[in-house]
Amino acid sequence: MGGHQPAEAIEPLAMLLGTWRGRGSGRYPTIRPFEYREELRLWDSGKPVVASSLESWSMSGEPLHQEMGFWRPEPDGRLSVVLSHALGVVEVAKGAIDGGSISLASTSIVRAPGGSAVKSLERLYRLEGDTLSYELWMETDSTPLALHLTGRLRRR
């Protein structure tokens, strides 16, 4: 449904609205490297936040990761994000929008029973034309912050 909230509120993220598809590669000190496919959607929720949905699959089509949430831009370029992850954690992150670069760092991650051992996440997105590339760094209970994912998505 369209919204009554001013579109100005989400204007700082307007360049990201849409559907992005592509591929990424993962690595981490504790696992074997892997490749994946991915779809990221960001849409105007009608509220002063951008809603997001992220899904990834193995190259053979098996569901890997899913997360959904809301991105709230501030007029000064700051950004706060709330996310829920299919692997049983919720995340609050803060960040900054600087032209085509967006950085995000988790400020709080809470696990449901049996949830993932992730402790913190950092993401860096870079938009160039219709290509959105990113890297994601992850810290877990047993591993310090390390590069985990890099991806390259194209606007659909």
> What does the binding site for a second copy look like in residue numbers (CB under 8 A)?
1, 3-5, 45-47, 49, 51, 53, 55, 57, 61-63, 66, 68-70, 72, 80-86, 88-92, 94, 108, 110-115
In the complex, the smallest distance separating the C-beta of residue 31 from a second copy, rounded to whole angstroms, is 18
Locate 95 and state its tokens: 């960040």
d(CA 6, CA 141): 41
In the complex, the smallest distance separating the C-beta of residue 121 from a second copy, rounded to whole angstroms, is 13
Q: Which is nearer to a second copy, 83 or 132 (CB)?
A: 83
In the complex, the smallest distance separating the C-beta of residue 127 from a second copy, rounded to whole angstroms, is 23
d(CA 103, CA 134): 10
Q: Which is nearer to a second copy, 78 or 131 (CB)?
A: 78
Q: Which is nearer to a second copy, 110 or 146 (CB)?
A: 110
Q: Which is nearer to a second copy, 82 or 136 (CB)?
A: 82
Q: Which is nearer to a second copy, 63 or 144 (CB)?
A: 63
In the complex, the smallest distance separating the C-beta of residue 129 from a second copy, rounded to whole angstroms, is 28
In the complex, the smallest distance separating the C-beta of residue 70 from a second copy, rounded to whole angstroms, is 5
3-class secondary structure for the chain? CCCCCCHHHHHHHHHHCEEEEEEEEEEECCEEEEEEEEEEEEEECCCCCEEEEEEEEECCCCEEEEEEEEEEECCCCEEEEEEEECCCEEEEEEEEEECCEEEEEEEEEEECCCCCCEEEEEEEEEEECCEEEEEEEEEECCCCCEEEEEEEEEEC
Tokens 């369209």 — which residue?
2
